[in-house]
Amino acid sequence: MCREYIDTVFPALIARLLPTLPSRCAVCHAWPSEPVCEACVNQFAQPVARCRTCALPVYGGAHQCGACVLEPPPLDACVAAVSYDYPWADLISDFKFHGKPGWAHTLARLLRSAPWVEPALERADLIIPMPLSHARLRERGFNQAVELARQLTSVRKMDATLLLRLKDTTAQVNLNRAERLRNLHNAFAVEPLKAMRLRGARLVLLDDVMTSGASLYSAARALRAAGAGHITGMVFARTDAPHTGTD
């Protein structure tokens, strides 16, 4: 009994304590440091102008990219903290593929400091993390979007069971945008017993990475069909080109 308790509780306790302990910066290896030191944050996490509906970088004072003007996405707004590039791509990979949920604390803190994130969190009625398939959840042991949400908002405001993933889709990495959209067709649904919570609600749909947008858009369409009033997509990292990345 004692052994089972230790095996269950101790790893979770360590994961919660690690972000508060002195460590080397994961990027420049400075010591002692936060998991990512202030100098590296200043160098690699400077805010950039992004499209207000898909979070791709925009230039020349534009507020929206040409693709979103021509074909508006199912998101009312979209925000991202950083580009999916060095060093963030490596840290995200470490976070979700190497069993290190403690990274959620640092990534959430950086996300919260990005422009427009705090107001979106405050105005939202519900924070909905993107669901994983059962196979990926078993493989990773945790849902990275749920871990981020727990660091960003209260338990009362987050609902990780409202949005369901119905299909265990094939990997997206080698698919183009049209193939990704077909791959995710009807991949998400709203839990019928909770659908009433969505009527006219302001939502934040949260994930760690956005590449083509296919996953977020498919999920947003399911939420919109159930009556959601306003949907903000929120991700820690966004690819600078919509066809690359891992998710």
Mean pLDDT of the chain: 86
CA–CA separation, 208 and 138 (whole Å) = 18
Q: Which residues of 148-162 are buried (b: 16+ CB within 10 A; e: fewer)?
A: bbbebbeeeebbbeb
Mean pLDDT computed over 176-199: 77
Q: Are strands 188-190 and 77-83 parallel, antiparallel or unpaired?
A: unpaired
Question: Taking 90 as the threshold, does the pLDDT of residue 171 lie above it?
Answer: no
For 54, 129, 144, 176, 203, the CA distances from 48, given in Å and listed in that order, are 13, 24, 24, 26, 24
- Would you state the pLDDT for residue 243? 47
Whether the Cβ atoms of residue 224 and residue 231 lie closer than 8 Å to each other: yes
- Would you state the pLDDT for residue 155? 86
Compute the chain's Rg from CA coordinates: 18
Question: Taking 60 as the threshold, does the pLDDT of residue 89 lie above it?
Answer: yes
Q: What is the largest CA-CA distance in the chain?
A: 63
Question: Taking 90 as the threshold, does the pLDDT of residue 13 lie above it?
Answer: no
CA–CA separation, 199 and 19 (whole Å) = 37
Q: Domains in the chain, ordered, with CATH?
A: 1-44 (no CATH), 47-238 (3.40.50)
- Would you state the pLDDT for residue 192? 94
CA–CA separation, 135 and 97 (whole Å) = 14
- Residues 34-83 have pLDDT tens digits of 899 999 999 999 999 999 999 999 999 999 999 999 999 999 999 999 99
